[in-house]
Amino acid sequence: MQYLTSVLIWAGIILLIVFWLPLLSIVRLFDRDPVRYKTGKMFRRLGFTISKINPNWNVEVEGEENIDDRNPYVIVSNHLSNADIPVISNLPWEMKWVAKKELFSLPFAGWMMKMAGDISVDRSSATKRAAVFKRCRYYLDRNVSVIFFPEGTRSRSGKLNRFAAGAFDLAIRENIPILPIALDGTQGCLPKNTWAFKKNVYVKMKVLAPVETENYEAGQAKELMHQVRESIAEQLSEWRGEPLSEVDAMADRRQGDVSV
């Protein structure tokens, strides 16, 4: 029965994506805003709709009420699954996604990412980082947030992996607050090595308190990164009822450093 349900869900997702492409093309045609605000927001509605047509996903969202998406943030979230993007799209904001360039080559979804103005990252070229930050600054200067997965790739174990400092360096240089998002449960939305959706998956997403960057200076990105990462780890620890050492993939390494 679950396999039949999964077939129907996948069929619904495919139909939505195929339908959304011409719809988004029309919105883009009339969207004269240089940051493509309406186009981007319409694209996020696709992710939101995908999350809602799946009866197996139960998404609980906290903390989004007092956030103004035209008061820009550098948004960072932990990364557990391919389901993170549609789940985060439950937030009623427009934000430009910083994503690996391979996603932009995908039929339909990649085309829509380009139309929405999302930001492509070439992981094979460290020299292109400046161009990514330049594009981020373009949006931030025009009151549109940008969002990063600072772990770089999704966590295979469910634990919080090492963060890269790039998003935090950007926030300090542009004097833009960091807005942390904690996610849990998406790792069960689509289990590994199967196309069948798991039944009755409960996902929690919480928008944590913004972290101001005005007291940080260039060169202090790692300090800011550790502060934000710790707040996400603490939220995961609270949700799971586990000590920080069980949710933080870096805990064992830090303990080893102390013992040395």
Name the domain count of the chain: 1
> For 53, what's the count of Cα atoms within 13 Å in the CB-facing half-sphere?
20
Q: List the helix and strand counts (H, then E) for the chain.
A: 9, 7
- How confident is the prediction along the chain (260 residues), in pLDDT tens digits per residue? 778 999 999 999 999 999 999 999 999 999 999 999 999 999 999 999 999 999 999 999 999 988 999 999 999 999 999 899 999 999 999 999 999 999 999 999 999 999 999 999 987 766 678 899 999 999 999 999 999 999 998 998 999 999 999 999 999 999 999 999 999 999 988 777 788 888 899 999 999 999 999 999 989 999 999 999 999 999 999 999 999 999 999 875 554 443 33
Q: How many residues does the chain have?
A: 260
At residue 260, the pLDDT reads 32
Query: Is the Cβ–Cβ distance between 178 and 171 less than 8 Å?
Result: yes
Q: What is the pLDDT of residue 259?
A: 35
pLDDT of residue 123: 75
Please report, for residues 25, 117, 137, 143, 144, the alpha-carbon distance to residue 28 in angstroms, rounded to integers and kept in the order given.
Answer: 5, 10, 22, 19, 17
Q: How many CA atoms lie within 13 A of 2 on its CB side?
A: 9
H-helix or E-strand containing 257?
helix 251-259
Q: What is the CATH number of the domain that holds 191?
A: 3.40.1130
Q: How far is 59 from 185, CA to CA, in rounded Å?
A: 9
Euclidean distance between CA atoms 138 and 184, whole angstroms: 31
From CA 227, how far away is CA 223, in angstroms rounded? Answer: 6
pLDDT of 255 reads 44
Which residues span the domain enclosing 107?
2-259
Strand order in the sheet with 145-148: 57-62, 201-207, 178-184, 74-77, 145-148, 95-100, 119-121
End-to-end CA gap in the chain: 54
pLDDT of residue 199: 87
Residue-level pLDDT at 252: 59
Calculate helix-pair angle for 37-53, 109-116, nearest 10 degrees.
140
